[in-house]
A and B are shown apart, each in its own frame.
Chain A
Amino acid sequence: MSGLVRAELRKLFTTRLWWIMLLVMLVLVGVGLGFLIAFAGVDQNGAALPARDTAEWAEIAWSSGSSGGIFVMILGVVMMTSEYRYQTITGTFLATPRRSLVIVAKVVAGLLVGALFALAVLVFQAVTVIPAVTLSGGELSLSASRIPQISLGILVTLALYAVFGIGLGALVRNQIAGIVAAVVWAYVIENIFTGIPALHSVGKWLPGGAAQALMSIDVDTGLGRPEWLPAWAGAAVLVGYGLLFAAVATATTVRRDIT
């Protein structure tokens, strides 16, 4: 089994996509952090971000990394669909005819890659958020704040989004369709349901809402405070989605004719 996981990791790391995705993710998280730094404490239509030297601001800034989920999900989609696109699935199943093992290996590899991306984004946040707070005269105690919980949330979220991508990829098999579906899901559907308070009753059950709950991000965006699930329930919902997508990947792959 460990050989199969290493084979899956090798597939990813012997092509160029992974570091392009990593770079784009860090750039986007960086842009988001830039806005948070620029608009900290600035009053906008009555609602204001906390000031840069507060622990509250640090927590909001620290949660930026969760937006990296989409990139990990795309990576998961590609891990699955490039096998069909380039027909390498034939060689994969010749080497490992028991297809469920291949899916398990892909899921484990996806979790590892997602976690790796999470670590990268956490390091990136540490070197931007900590100086931003301290240079503004604030003090940041990593252990006293909710930052450890948010960090764990980012780790779990990114790891599981890779699995969502693998499941989605196995379902649609077409690479472009899979990536478009992932982007539409993460940027449109989830944003609508988690961004509009009236829709939170649905949104809190979606992966994005569950991820927010896990990190206990309950910032008032000017539209009212969101009502997320408790953190433990958010984690359970996320893991549930992970299992669901892994099951979808297995069910759609095991018996299909490879022609």
Chain B
Amino acid sequence: MAAIEIRNLVKSFGPVKAVDGVSFSVEAGSVTGYLGPNGAGKTTTLRCLLGLVTPDSGEALVNGERYVALSDPAAEVGAVLEATSFHPGRTARNHLRILCTAAGLPDTRADEALEQVGLADAAGKRVGGFSLGMRQRLALASALLGRPRVYILDEPANGLDPAGIEWLRGFLRHLAHDQGAAVLVSSHVLAEVERTVDDVVIIAKGHLVRQGSLAELTSDGADAVRVRAAQAADLVPALEAAGGAVERVEDGLLRVRGLDPEAVGRIALERRVALTEVAQERSGLHKVFLDLTEGR
């Protein structure tokens, strides 16, 4: 049984289909990135999963059950939805203690969770004076209270500085890889999660466009060779004759598919063209992401 299972999820708000037939699953021990541009339907999917929004059809299950049917949700699922869900006049510690009381957890968990996210010094301060990054950490602390094994995080890197993003990366990988938790983390900024996730699910306009391991997705279309030469144009017929698909990127720069750098080098030698650059090109996930979501 997958830790998170979403099957044919459909949700409309009025005439807008926010999520239209999305299915994917998240296994324990891995970090899955749920990626897509703003307005793609990520938040709606996660809110359906957490019982805050009722789907029109389809299922969203955590540990095989609907969230609202969980007997002790805090002990099974930790969720971060937005960094704004705090009463500004309440202290960080009191915010967490209220959640502890409602979930039947001892008050001591509040301070322990604050310690874990590096907010111990701000425990007694009112949340109104917190930076966005501190609010994100506090939101994450609320997810940790019940020591759950499933984490559902909506844009947790929003508002974090580079050091904070680095910290979050280590923290999420620790939860998944060392503690065996299932982590689902959404983002519209690929760079934030590129080095954090093991698997990727990409959504655009409510539709799932791609899912797979990070390695699979980044290797897509990675076999292009960059070729730079002053007389690049002279090379094109020979490269095509040898079976390469040539793309003229700009004056003096070609992108060749179907040939490896050695073959390109040999052809250049035969044609007596001096190469200034020849390199295997690895298209980053970023390019895949843009291609898939913008429907190039």
Partner of A258, one of B53, B70, B101: B53
Let me know if B287 is at the binding interface, CB within 8 A.
no
Partner of B101, one of A6, A257, A259: A6
Let me know if A93 is at the binding interface, CB within 8 A.
yes
Q: Which residues of A have CB within 8 Å of B104?
A: 3
A15–B90 Cα distance when bound, in Å, is: 6
Q: Which residues of B have CB within 8 Å of A95?
A: 73-74, 99, 102-103
Q: Which residues of A have CB within 8 Å of B82?
A: 87, 90
Binds A, one of B29-37, B44-52, B183-191, B271-279: B44-52
Q: A94-B79, A95-B74, A257-B54 are in contact. Are A82 and B87 (CB under 8 A)?
A: yes
Q: Which of B53, B81, B102 has the most CB of A within 10 A?
A: B102
Cross-chain contact A86 with B85 (CB below 8 angstroms): yes
Q: A90-B81, A255-B54, A257-B54 are in contact. Are A98 and B87 (CB under 8 A)?
A: no
Let me know if A97 is at the binding interface, CB within 8 A.
yes
Closest chain-A Cβ to B89's Cβ sits at a distance in Å of: 5
Cross-chain contact A15 with B87 (CB below 8 angstroms): yes
Within 8 A of B (CB), among A55-113: 82, 86-88, 90-98
Closest chain-A Cβ to B52's Cβ sits at a distance in Å of: 4
A120–B81 Cα distance when bound, in Å, is: 40
Cross-chain contact B97 with A97 (CB below 8 angstroms): no
Cross-chain contact A10 with B85 (CB below 8 angstroms): no
Cross-chain contact A10 with B73 (CB below 8 angstroms): no
Cross-chain contact B52 with A90 (CB below 8 angstroms): yes
Let me know if B142 is at the binding interface, CB within 8 A.
yes
Let me know if A4 is at the binding interface, CB within 8 A.
yes
Partner of B53, one of A3, A10, A87, A259: A259
Chain B residue, CB-CB nearest to A92: B102
A255–B88 Cα distance when bound, in Å, is: 27
A92–B98 Cα distance when bound, in Å, is: 9
Cross-chain contact A258 with B97 (CB below 8 angstroms): no
Cross-chain contact B99 with A93 (CB below 8 angstroms): no
Q: A93-B52, A259-B47 are in contact. Are A14 and B98 (CB under 8 A)?
A: yes
A172–B92 Cα distance when bound, in Å, is: 28
A82–B74 Cα distance when bound, in Å, is: 23
Closest chain-B Cβ to A175's Cβ sits at a distance in Å of: 12
Cross-chain contact A88 with B86 (CB below 8 angstroms): yes
Cross-chain contact B98 with A11 (CB below 8 angstroms): yes
Interface size of B as a range: 35 or more
Cross-chain contact A97 with B85 (CB below 8 angstroms): no
Chain B residue, CB-CB nearest to A10: B98
Chain B residue, CB-CB nearest to A4: B102
A259–B51 Cα distance when bound, in Å, is: 11
Chain B residue, CB-CB nearest to A15: B89
Cross-chain contact A97 with B70 (CB below 8 angstroms): yes
Within 8 A of A (CB), among B67-110: 67-68, 70, 73-74, 77, 79, 81-82, 84-91, 94, 97-99, 101-104
Can you list, as one digit per residue, whether each of A1-31 has a CB less than 8 Å from chain B (1) or not (0)?
Answer: 0011011001100111000000000000000
Closest chain-B Cβ to A255's Cβ sits at a distance in Å of: 7
Cross-chain contact A91 with B89 (CB below 8 angstroms): no
Chain B residue, CB-CB nearest to A6: B101
Q: Which residues of A have CB within 8 Å of B50?
A: 94, 97
Cross-chain contact A98 with B68 (CB below 8 angstroms): yes
Q: Which residues of A have CB within 8 Å of B67?
A: 97
Q: Which residues of B have CB within 8 Å of A255?
A: 54
Q: A6-B101, A95-B102, A258-B52 are in contact. List 19 more A-B contacts (CB 8 A).
A: A3-B102, A3-B104, A10-B97, A82-B87, A86-B85, A86-B87, A86-B88, A87-B84, A88-B86, A88-B87, A94-B50, A94-B52, A94-B77, A94-B79, A95-B103, A97-B68, A97-B70, A257-B53, A259-B44
Give the B-binding residues of A (Cβ under 8 A): 3-4, 6-7, 10-11, 14-16, 82, 86-88, 90-98, 255, 257-259
Give the A-binding residues of B (Cβ under 8 A): 13, 43-44, 47, 50-54, 67-68, 70, 73-74, 77, 79, 81-82, 84-91, 94, 97-99, 101-104, 142
9 cross-chain pairs, A with B, having the tightest CB-CB distances, nearest first: A7-B102, A7-B101, A14-B94, A258-B52, A97-B68, A87-B85, A95-B102, A257-B53, A15-B89
A-B contact pairs, 13 of them (CB 8 A): A10-B98, A10-B101, A14-B90, A16-B89, A86-B84, A86-B87, A88-B85, A90-B85, A92-B102, A94-B50, A97-B51, A97-B68, A257-B47
